[in-house]
Structure 1
Amino acid sequence: MNPLISIIVPCYNQAVYLDECLESVLQQTYQNWECIIVNDGSPDNTEDFARKWVEKDTRFHYVDKENGGLSSARNAGIAVAKGEWILPLDSDDKISPAYLELAEKEFSNGYSVIYCEAEKFGTETGKWILPEYTPQALAVRNVIFCTAFFKRTDWEKAGGYDTSLIYGLEDWEFWISILKNGGKVYKIKEICFYYRIKENSMIKDMISDNGDMKKMVTHNIVYKKHIEFFTKELGSFEKLYDNNQHLKNILNSKRYVWANKIFNLFNR
């Protein structure tokens, strides 16, 4: 009863947002949680902010590590987590007070992933509209944001978040890893996650005009790693191409030929 939920908060150069993020954790109506703040070698005063919260409530814990990227930071936090269920939460985002309580009610129903409706805030506002989850929808694009619940045992089976995805899409690859062989997904029909939109972000960098090389390298890793999943759900590369405007933009880019040559040099 009342299983422990481990909330993993990686932080790199985002100390200015950390208080707001952790306050949303503290306000949870479900009380049996721990929150692991991972300082990923941040050059700002992340440690000062984090230690303040550790002193405030013993459910907060602090991990300090050398910079290794988002996947590495999440893995480091989960490695020391004690909870059966994991919830990643980026340090510039926040969750509603009821998120843990609503999710916990579904833990015994055989789900692999539990998430919710979401809303944007910051430089953009409004409900975050994503396609409903199906395996085929997941094969086309990521339809589940990072702040979703999953079992620690599934993280172990997947080998954790892929640390080679330094430019992004680590969430997409992770969901494919734990869902490609089956698994039920449940969506809470309430807005429980708030996603901060900033002027500069990893996602905006990926879709910028000068992001072709990063996009190509990142998508290549995911496609090659899960080629059987994409073939199963979409039938062929041609169908994947037809359904993915993002991929079309990459392959039609003038930079793609040169980027592909460079990528192949490093992946022979």
Structure 2
Amino acid sequence: MNPTVTIIMATYNRAYFIVETLQSIQKQTYLNWECLIVDDGGTDNTREVISSILEKDNRFQYLKRPTTYKKGLPGCRNYGLDLAKGTYIIFFDDDDIVHPQNLEICVNELNNNQYSFCRYIREVFFEKFDYNYNLTKEYKSNIISIHDLEKVLKNEIPLNSCSVMWRKELFLKDRFVENLMYAEEWELYLRLLSNNIKGITIDKCLFYGRKHSKSNTGEYYLGNPIRINSKKEAIKLVVKNLKTKNLLTESILKHLIGFAISFRDTQLFKDIVEISKITFKKRVFLTFKFYRYPFWKFYKKLEK
């Protein structure tokens, strides 16, 4: 019997955290799943520490990323997508904790309607995790559609990499961009939503993300140039996709230009302006705003 859900988990030198993550998956109330653990060329003893789990539970598969896929999270996930047998796809990280009702609730939502994805709440924790789960099945829900594109883009409705269950068919045409080392899910999920799909969001926490400095997000906020440059590339891809589909509103463009301003990246600013093909008048206005920012920031500092 084929699994209903395929869990795709990329891993890289996470021997210290991954066992706790896999154990939380084993505690799922929904049983018909497979978990593809794709190792991105790690050098620690991950394989050894999870060996007993692999031997006792054949729903887990430990795989090495082939060289035909680029090194990194996107390449590992794309490899997992090519092997997935499930009707539904969910991406879990190798250092987090999954609520025991995660798969059960998401599958029920997607089985009972025509939605393309189910999004839920994701909370974060530091150090030790408190296993005091809220096991109620009562929660509020709303629809997410292309009309919420700007809210998703601005993270007002977060579509984190581990907070959504998707229908597998969505990935037949759209995949992760493998040269992105950060913001890859932000770029892909916006691309999927821009295809005019509809999902459901439920007001219940079903996933817990571990916060630590060695995560991709932690490295981004610590100024890692690889992560920051990847965010810049993702921004340009988002602008290009939305422009092509006539979805690049003035408000969205202003927000994306804001990244170039905050990065103080003249080339990123020029690239966004060029891709968006805005009018000469608007180009002049945005250019003035870009170069005015340091003076405005200095003035605000003095004002405080």
TM-score, structure 1 as length reference: 0.81
Instruction: Find the counterpart in structure 2 of residue 221 from structure 1.
Output: 237
Kindly report which structure 2 residues correspond to 1:42-61, keeping only aligned pairs within 5 A, or say none. 42-61=42-61
- Name which of 162, 167, 178 aligns with 1:151: 167
Shift of 1:241: 4.6
Q: In the superposition, relative to structure 1, how do residues 224 and 53 fare at CA in structure 2: closer, same or farther (>3 Å)?
A: same
Q: Which has the higher strand share?
A: 1
1:70-93 deviations in whole A, cap 9, x for unaligned? Answer: 011111112111101011100011
TM-score, structure 2 as length reference: 0.72
Instruction: Find the counterpart in structure 1 of residue 40 from structure 2.
Output: 40
Confirm or deny that 1:104 pairs with 2:107: yes
Shift of 1:16: 1.1
1:49-101 deviations in whole A, cap 9, x for unaligned? Answer: 34332102011111112571001111111211110101110001121111111
Is the partner of 1:105 in helix, strand or coil?
helix
What is the distance in 2 between the residues matched to 1:209 and 1:241? 24
Instruction: Find the counterpart in structure 2 of residue 266 from structure 1.
Output: none
What is the distance in 1 between the residues matched to 2:191 and 2:254? 23
Confirm or deny that 1:250 pairs with 2:265: no
AA aligned opposite 2:260 = I
Is the partner of 1:204 in helix, strand or coil?
helix
Shift of 1:190: 1.7
1:184-218 deviations in whole A, cap 9, x for unaligned? Answer: 22122221100111023222333345645443233
Q: In the superposition, relative to structure 1, how do residues 86 and 182 fare at CA in structure 2: closer, same or farther (>3 Å)?
A: same
Answer whether contact 2:3 2:85 (CA < 8 A) is retained. Answer: no
Q: In the superposition, relative to structure 1, how do residues 208 and 217 fare at CA in structure 2: closer, same or farther (>3 Å)?
A: farther
Confirm or deny that 1:122 pairs with 2:126: yes
**Identity score, percent:** 29
What is the distance in 1 between the residues matched to 2:61 and 2:109? 26
Is the partner of 2:179 in helix, strand or coil?
coil
What is the distance in 2 between the residues matched to 1:124 and 1:17? 11
Is the partner of 1:28 in helix, strand or coil?
coil
1:121-176 deviations in whole A, cap 9, x for unaligned? Answer: 116999xxxxx952221233472111211011111121x2111212x111111212
> Tell me, which stretches of 5 or more residues in structure 1 are unaligned?
127-131, 263-268
Shift of 1:17: 0.7
Confirm or deny that 1:180 pairs with 2:194: yes
Q: In the superposition, relative to structure 1, how do residues 170 and 215 fare at CA in structure 2: closer, same or farther (>3 Å)?
A: closer
1:4-23 deviations in whole A, cap 9, x for unaligned? Answer: 11111110111211101100
Q: In the superposition, relative to structure 1, how do residues 46 and 164 fare at CA in structure 2: closer, same or farther (>3 Å)?
A: same
Shift of 1:3: 6.1
